[in-house]
Structure 1
Amino acid sequence: MSGTLMSLCTVDALPALPQGWWRAWSLAPATLVPLLLLAAWALAPTWRSGLPAGAARRWRLVGLLLLALALVSPLCRLAATLAGAHMAQLMVLVAGCALLAAGWRAPRHAGGARLGAAATLHGLLLWLWHLPVVYAAALLSGPVHVGLTTALALASFAFGRQAFHAGPAQRGAVLVALLLSLAHTGLLGALLTFAGTPLYALQAPGARAWGLSPLVDQQLAGLIMWVPGGMAYMAAALGVFLRRTPRAPTMGPRIPTWQRPLR
């Protein structure tokens, strides 16, 4: 049992089944050790981000908690068992990396080509993950699983860092990048939702164990990316817009003429 818990979240490891899914934690050193090292560094008292200390530290803490939820909690084993849980795990992973980036140091160069490259790589990796042959390789091979997860985490962090730390002049480009991400992930979600046949045969036994057909499980995965995932990109775009919008100068209380001091 302990040896299984120390393995990665692949189909040959401990599955998360209805009768005991809450016990299916993942303590694989390949993900747990880097996560602990990252937490120790990001939350150290001497860490400086150049942002308001309290707010930056809170962003990093929430981001780290979401990463732990995606990589250590039973959600990780569920992701190897159900396509719907896999999609939920990826959305949590992406959100955790974005929030971690929000509390990180601003990049030396933000916006422009770097923003476009980060957004493009983030999107390409999301589509690559869901090609059936790549999806199957990630579920069967530990190195492929770790490599794809790490690549998506780094790309999401880079995209979030470029988006949240871009200057006011880059606000339009950031909004376009986020809305394009919303559009293409929504398209991927719609394709998975309306596909007529199951694409991920390896998770068919897990779906049936949960009382779902493989096609319904896949449709749930598509809906999770399409709706909650789209709302997350929309929320990020709205947050960037509101944060970058200059506030009108506040007017002090108007003093009646008879109360004004004589000059």
Structure 2
Amino acid sequence: MRDELSALLEQAAPAIVREVAGALSQRSGSVYRARGVVATGRAVGDLVAAMVADVAAGNGKQLRAGLRDILSRLSEEAISFRDLRLVQEALRTDLFTRIEAADLPLAALRAVEDWFHELTHQCSLYLLAQREHLIDRQASEIEVKLAEQRQLSIPIVPIYEGVLLAPLVGNLDAYRAQVLTTRVLEVVGRSHARLLLLDVSGVPKVDQEVVDHLLRTTRAVRLLGCQTVLIGIAAELARTMAGLDLDTSELVVRRSLQEGLSHALATLGLAVARR
């Protein structure tokens, strides 16, 4: 039975590929229509070749080893469930028609049916792998967008020649603190500013890690020749900083933006005078 089936499949393979590929390439909205009859024919030919080898060997080794490569050569994008179902149905219908016409025993149908069960299984694994890849890619894209939004949420603006203001609003977690350091160093290095007013009056709560980041930012900015002035420390933040075992003597602190600006002007040797 297996020899007769293998002989039938080998003999009919060119006709199977031609008819199945021709039918698939006419299906609107499918990857086969988009890729054309030649590319579809190559993919179907590879599937038929795997089936011929697997039926002769009595296993699904060729299919398991080659299905993903066959699909990736057909399309760089993930192939949909509909397209996978279309090729399975078209191949199955054509093959079963030929086997019945050749009056092969029922065992031949079962052998081919077993191969199609393996094809369904491998297609399911392919779809799962593609779904996981898509989820990972989307998660990475979301993380990038969130990072961009977090950077945009920390504006650093010049308010006077040589003076920058960085108003912080919302929770200042460790990630945003790292983003703050990166942004500050970038802007200070580009503008050659002498003073940075870091306004934390809009930060409701910070922990030891965040305070440590603020100190690191202050030290890094100082290496660029810029002094950091911490503005608007609330009572809770003051208690947090006082209770930490950290050296805060290097911080220049002012209660309000007005006092911070006055300090900046005095440092620059300037003063505001009434006209």
TM > 0.5:
no
Q: Which has the higher contact order (CA 8 A, sep 6+)?
A: 1
Per the normalisation by structure 1, the TM-score is 0.31
Structure with max Cα Rg: 2
